[in-house]
Amino acid sequence: MSTLRRAIGNGGVMMAAQGITWTSTLLLTAALGRRLGDAGFGDLYLAMSFGVIFSVLVQFGLDQQLVRAVARDRSLAGAYLANSLAIKGVLGLLAYGLIVGLAQALHYPSDVRRTIAVYAVILLFNGVSTSLTAVYQAAEFLFPAAMGDVLEKVFDAVVGVLVLTHGAGISTIAGVFVVGAAVNAAWKTAFLRRMPAMTLTIDPAVVRGLLLGALPFFLYWALGSVYYRVDAILLSKMTDAAVVGWYGAAYKLFDTLVFLPNIVSSAILYPILSRLSVSSHDDLRRALSKGLSVILIIGIPICTGMFVLAAPIIHLVYGQPEFVHAVPALRWLAVALLILYVNSILAAAVFSLNQERKMTVVAALATVVNFGLNWLLIPHFQHVAAAAVTAGTELFILGYLLSVMPRDLLSAGTAVVFAKSLGAATSMAAVLYVLRGQSIFLLVPAGGAVYVVVGLLLRVVPAEDVRVLRRALALRPAQPSPGSETA
């Protein structure tokens, strides 16, 4: 029961922090779209895409290995953290040089190359930040990571809007993002003193072990970053900056909603599954089932609302008429988002079982599928093709994960939760369609109310889960220290 209480407490912290970061990101995204226009927004999004793709080289799969190892043995935290940071420092310099060289080789205009070069500095700070987050996740002590992200996004929003109002260009905005990442890393570093037995020493043997152990993770995330972001680079070479801006406008909204798997699967469920995978198969199956249920119950209405309300959402956020072209792309990305939610939980289970090589296989296959379809379809359908291919790629990954997942870990109850949630979301979509043309500030709460009411009537949340949740909340919550081993 203490594991459930910790999960609920950590989930509450993450959701509260996410509310602030999501709002801050949305406000800044709106300001960027309105001030920079579609072409300027496209150039900035291109720079961010380079950062995402090459961030995988810096991360090198070290964070996933760190979470799994430290979740099982807290005494490894200091050694793994210190040596991970040493590796990332070297890889960060290498990645920066590759980004600058590639931008030059692709013959981007000088102002775009400058923006890419400025934004790429973020890789070094993000490398530090994500390693610290991994340690805190493994210890199920999420406050430092959550607050660090809040500080970064609030800083980005406040300073970003301020410099935009003074006529700043995209290179300056890129610099704001870099400073925000530095603030985040500094905050998380300050909390290391709360972690017990943190001896930070560099050991060549540990470095070798980390590199070898992280290689399957790296291959998976490297290939994954390609099929997630190569579409932006293809768009930049096959179309123009405005089209990249339309796609970036839709994709930024998609990105802001990836917070759900970041919280449920990465921050909360993955450390728990990693522990249970070596202790209790029955508990592992139950934890996986609950994770899938949570992601479906919350994710289905989010994605349904994003699909149905795509046009008013784009108008509300970006304001400029040229961004109406982003609406069909956003609808396709809403479909992709729901499938990604499910894939994130299944992937966490595969990683927890030390079967990351299976994830490398699917990432390689998905990269081929994604790149090939984008290459064929972008010349004809531009940014809409890129969004549709993203959805198709996620569906391909889902099919693979279901085929390799151990049968005894999947529960029939998950299918029931999916059907009931989909039924409630269908009712919500019908009401939103009837009320189309009304203010989005009316549509969102109306749709949410319909989903909740129909969900209660259909008993989307199983009665047993409600009883367990009530018992957990009725107990006085434990105040776990970062070094607690309570299960």
Which residues have C-beta within 8 Å of that of residue 411, sequence separation ≥ 6? 285, 288, 289, 292
* Phi-psi category of residue 76: left, alpha or beta, with phi > 0 → left and psi -120 to 50 → alpha: alpha
3-state secondary structure of 349: helix
For residue 253, CA distances in Å to 219, 244, 342 come to: 27, 14, 19
User: Which residue's structure tokens are 């802001």?
Assistant: 256
Q: Per-residue pLDDT tens for 353-365?
A: 877 778 888 888 8
* Phi-psi category of residue 478: left, alpha or beta, with phi > 0 → left and psi -120 to 50 → alpha: beta
Check residue 142 and give its pLDDT: 72
Q: Per-residue pLDDT tens for 168-177?
A: 888 999 999 9
Check residue 10 and give its pLDDT: 53
Residues of the chain with pLDDT under 50: 1, 472-473, 475-487
Check residue 446 and give its pLDDT: 94
Q: How far apart are CA 166 and CA 171, in angstroms?
A: 14
Q: State which amino acid sits at residue 378.
A: I
Check residue 472 and give its pLDDT: 45
pTM of the full structure: 0.70
Check residue 482 and give its pLDDT: 45
Check residue 14 and give its pLDDT: 60
Check residue 337 and give its pLDDT: 93
The encoded tokens of residue 72 equal 């099982």
Check residue 479 and give its pLDDT: 41
Check residue 445 and give its pLDDT: 93
Q: Domain coordinates of the chain in residue numbers?
A: 2-474
Residue 212 burial (10 A CB sphere; 0-12, 13-18, 19+): exposed
Check residue 13 and give its pLDDT: 59
Written as one string, the DSSP assignment of 386-425 is HHHHHHHHHHHHHHHHHHHS-GGG--HHHHHHHHHHHHHH
Check residue 384 and give its pLDDT: 94
Contact 313, 256 (CB under 8 A): no
